Structure 1
Amino acid sequence: MAEEQMFQIPKVKLGTQGFEVSKLGFGCMGLTGAYNAPVPEDVGISIIKVAFSKGITFFDTSDVYGPKTNEVLVGKALKQLPREKIQLATKFGIVGVQPTGVVVNGTPEYVRVCCEESLKRLGVEYIDLYYQHRVDTSTPIEETMGELKKLVEEGKIKYVGLSEASPDTIRRAHAVHPITAVQMEWSLWTRDLEEEIIPLCRELGIGIVPYSPLGRGFFGGKAVVESLPANSVLASHPRFTGENFDKNKILYTRMENLAAKYGCTTPQLALAWVLHQGDDVVPIPGTTKIKNLDDNIGSLKVKLMEEDLKEISDAVPITAVEGSRTYDNMLQSTWKFANTPPKDAVV
């Protein structure tokens, strides 16, 4: 207990505009039902409060989680916490998900309406970090960013972020107003952003916020690998089904063996690998259990050298991962397809 009380989660800067957050964030999505059933409201509030008490100050939500109920839950938790010590991130842009794919809106009018509604649901006067959740490929990014810039000037948001944005979109957006953080899927088994996105973010001074840093829970513990709940949406995910899942389980076993060598749990080693990718990297794992929260925080105590990171990377070769990182109907909304038309091309 004394050691736990002594351990402090370090603070790091996201971007170059002065935004400081805890090195480990907390993704709130699962509290209102995403992969499994939602937890009772009092339990969700309690988990957020416990995370804060343990040093996590960076909380991530979105208007589409729930939908909308996640922001309400987070807002209720914030009422019981010191607002000035919290860094709150939420997102806009996803109108809905249809069998054919994700419906996205990035028009200036929609940006403003979403921001106003999120402020009300959250019960706050400002949002620290406001992301475009997915890119609207029919609206020039300059138009979306122009409205976000106005919201910054009005004090309704402090910093601007993008999620699943292409290199061209990131560069063009950053030219309108500084982008503080880019949120992307990044884990041991999802590393396609390392070639283009990460170098670009570092060139422009943009922080990186990995979502699903435990591979959508794949590296989160033996239970997921041994018996995926039948009601989980992951039961239809390409990497968690059929032969793909059977082959991917081999990767989990390798990580399990390595974790024993490093004296930590499998999820701690997987998360520590992400944490060690740079001081500008702040992963946001989520959980509905205090035990898992403690495990995630414990990953910050795992010290890895360059040769260790290579050994871990080699244990999960990206070419050995079977299945797409996303559902087929979500593929077109990922960063590789997220270019927007030139501003002068839209009449």
Structure 2
Amino acid sequence: MTSSITSRPLGKNGPMLPRLGLGRMNNSGAYNAVGSDEERLGFLDRAYAMGERFWDTADMYLDSEDLPGQWFARNPEKRAHVFLATKFSIDMTVPTDIIFDSSPAYARQQLARSLTRLGVAYIDLYYVHRLDGKTPIETTMAALVALKNEGKIKHIGLGACSAASLRRAHAVHPIAAVQTEYSVFARAIEAVDDPKRGILAAAPRAGRGRRREGNLDANVATVAQMGALAKQKGVTTAQLCLAWLLAQGDDVFAIPGTRKAERLQENLAALRVELTAEEQETLGTLGKQVAGGESRPEHVAIHFADTPEL
């Protein structure tokens, strides 16, 4: 994909990808206000120039597909050099509710819409963002395999799912990657005993329990200890935590989001940070001290979702 950024195969015999991708949610306005389209398109220009060619988005992230669509329209010759991942199954069209839908009909409908918004003929990696708990995973996979056979997607991935769901899905067709919450503070995935495949580590801002009164002060103190270690190494705390994550295995990829070129440059520099075994252990121990739980209780079942049997 690019020679300037450390790359690894995604899963067993998968495509070579930068170990640190670009999460597009932040730059869509999902969290905070963003700049103009021209400013955001300029950011994608900078990302591409830096060698960041692994872009991760989803159909629910506001205009997170439309903006890259504008960029590809301006730079059609660069499409083949960007590994593009997007996701379906979270329906945000009902104002009072969030609906999960991993049915075949919804998969086909949403892929068609994503291809149109992105202005591309195919998606490199298409994820089931969340399992709906109603559709057997084998049924969802059969639909995705059909779309792959039509040339509309190249690789299939899963979002948060249980090990059992992953095994059942993989029995239908190889799963290239699993995207799940994983960081020095969120470690539940480490308890999953499953054959190695690409793990895309995301860290959505769901851990509000960590910021509640009583927890915040303790967690600020923990981060301060990490900051002291980072200062000793001459790196930022963010770089230290990214380096810890990537050190957990060659099959682990990080997709931090940002809308600022300087932050992307900072993140990419984490690829050059090497940690000793002692530093990894120290960071891991500090991460386990986090107060307030790894995620809101209502999210736990979603992160490791099962589906009914056929």
TM range (shorter): over 0.9
CA distance in 2, matches of 1:201, 1:240: 35
Q: Which residue does 1:237 correspond to in 2?
A: 208
Q: Which residue does 2:307 correspond to in 1?
A: 340
Please point out which of 246, 256, 261 is paired with 2:217.
246
* 1:276-295 matched pairs, under 5 angstroms: 276-295=247-266
Deviation (angstroms), 1:37: 1.6
Query: Structure 1 250/64 Cα, relative in aligned 2: closer, same or farther at 3 Å?
Result: same
Structure 2: where are the runs of 5+ without partners?
Answer: none
2:37 aligned with 1:70, yes or no?
A: no
Q: Which residue does 2:272 correspond to in 1?
A: 301
2:99 aligned with 1:103, yes or no?
A: yes
Q: Which residue does 1:91 correspond to in 2?
A: 87
Give the secondary-structure state (helix, strand or coil) at the position aligned to 2:110. Answer: helix
* 1:164-175 matched pairs, under 5 angstroms: 164-175=160-171
CA contact (8 A) 1:201 1:208 kept: no
CA contact (8 A) 1:102 1:333 kept: no
CA distance in 2, matches of 1:99, 1:122: 25
Structure 1: where are the runs of 5+ without partners?
Answer: 1-6, 217-233
* 1:1-347 matched pairs, under 5 angstroms: 8-66=4-62, 69-81=63-75, 82-96=78-92, 102-196=98-192, 199-202=193-196, 206-212=197-203, 216=205, 237-316=208-287, 318=288, 320-335=289-304, 338-343=305-310
CA contact (8 A) 1:88 1:129 kept: yes
CA contact (8 A) 2:160 2:180 kept: yes
CA distance in 2, matches of 1:326, 1:38: 26
Q: Which runs of 4+ in 1 moved over 6 A?
A: 97-101
Deviation (angstroms), 1:330: 3.9
**Normalising by structure 2, what TM-score?**
0.93
CA contact (8 A) 1:102 1:330 kept: no
Deviation (angstroms), 1:97: 8.8
CA distance in 1, matches of 2:58, 2:274: 32
CA distance in 1, matches of 2:54, 2:31: 21
Give the secondary-structure state (helix, strand or coil) at the position aligned to 2:156. Answer: strand
Alpha-carbon RMSD across the aligned residues, in angstroms, is: 2.0
Query: Structure 1 139/315 Cα, relative in aligned 2: closer, same or farther at 3 Å?
Result: same
Query: Structure 1 71/189 Cα, relative in aligned 2: closer, same or farther at 3 Å?
Result: same
CA contact (8 A) 1:88 1:128 kept: yes
Residues 56-90 of structure 1 deviation map (CA, whole Å, 9 limit, x = unaligned): 11100000101xx1100122223344111110000
Letter in 2 for 1:341: P
Query: Structure 1 237/98 Cα, relative in aligned 2: closer, same or farther at 3 Å?
Result: farther
